[in-house]
Amino acid sequence: MESLRSKKGFICDMDGVIYHGNQLLPGVKEFVEWLQKEEKQFLFLTNASSRSPKELQNKLYRMGLEIGEEHFYTSALATAKFLQNQAPGCSAYVIGDHGLYNALYDAGITINDVDPDYVVVGETVTYGYEHIITAMNLVNKGARLIATNTDITGPIEGGIAPACRAFVAPIEATTGKKAYYVGKPNPLMMRTGLQILGVHSSEAVMIGDRMDTDIIAGIETGLDTALVLSGVSTRETVKEFPYRPRLILNGVGDIAE
């Protein structure tokens, strides 16, 4: 644990690590206070694309945590950055909520449902049959398929809900085209996180609750890894994977202690 506390940079998943639904998880306040007191570089990095960093900041503020907007990075921002680098000034048909739309707009990407360069899919509460029809026909006409993340489900109060990969699946199935997934575990998002923090991978740790996104992303990017049992993965499901986190903790509060 002491080697973990000596790290300069901390990249933390959010849902299942910092909060669950609208409830702050035990030990999180103490963990954040410790990060600030020790002047650690930290970033809350989430695969969820529906909210902007400002909205995430406000959400935590309502839970009693005051954290600067610069400490948040989403798969929507990572997707916008990817498209901006790949094809500056491109256009996209977008399935997603305002967090994704705003990120793309800020990156100079125009919305186009006639002849877009890309079809971009993120989480949304308004997903429907018409989205599938439009997306599949645009992809069949040549638009490239991009998805914000590989999460197939996400935790909600009272259970789980479909996430990005569940929305992409019908489009992949009906077109025969595979999406390019930008968010975790894609190292692209992790490397950007390290750049934001200004630390080397050997000086940082990835803290997450999912083996299939958080922990594998940390391992493949060369970060130290800590799995917390406050979200999706359990000690039993860890055994199903051919890789392991270096540490398994009950929650981030263990680090502050």
At residue 158, the pLDDT reads 74
At residue 13, the pLDDT reads 96
Q: Residue 209, annotated ligand binder?
A: yes
Q: In this structure, how many other beta carbons lie within 10 angstroms of the beta carbon of residue 28?
A: 22
Q: Are 135 and 120 in contact (CB under 8 A)?
A: no
At residue 31, the pLDDT reads 97
Phi, psi of 73 (to 5 degrees): -145, 130
Taking the model in full, what pTM does it have? 0.93
Taking the C-alpha atoms of residue 243 and residue 211, their distance in angstroms, rounded to an integer, is: 9
Q: How many helices (H) and strands (E) does the chain have?
A: 11, 15
At residue 74, the pLDDT reads 97
Q: Which CATH number fits domain 74-179: 3.40.50.11540, 2.40.30.20, 3.40.50.10800, 3.40.50.1000?
A: 3.40.50.1000
Q: Residue 13, annotated ligand binder?
A: yes
The question of whether 15 is a catalytic residue gets the answer: yes
Side-chain-side CA neighbours of residue 107 (13 Å): 24
Query: 15, 97, 117, 254: which is the annotated catalytic residue?
Result: 15
At residue 142, the pLDDT reads 98
Burial profile 40-51: b = 16 or more Cβ within 10 angstroms, e = fewer: bbbbbbbbbbbb
Asked whether this chain's domains 1-46+183-256 and 74-179 adopt the same fold, the reply is yes
- In this prediction, the residues of the chain whose per-residue pLDDT falls under 50 are none
Q: 176: which DSSP letter?
A: -
- Domain spans of the chain, in order of start: 1-46+183-256, 74-179
At residue 237, the pLDDT reads 95
Domain 1-46+183-256 belongs to what architecture?
3-Layer(aba) Sandwich (3.40)
At residue 116, the pLDDT reads 98
At residue 40, the pLDDT reads 97
The question of whether 115 is a catalytic residue gets the answer: no
Query: Quick one: which H or E segment has residue 155?
Result: strand 153-156
Query: 13, 117, 224, 254: which is the annotated catalytic residue?
Result: 13
Q: Residue 15, annotated ligand binder?
A: yes
At residue 21, the pLDDT reads 81
Q: What is the pLDDT of residues 84-118, one digit of tens each?
A: 999 999 999 999 999 999 999 999 999 999 999 99
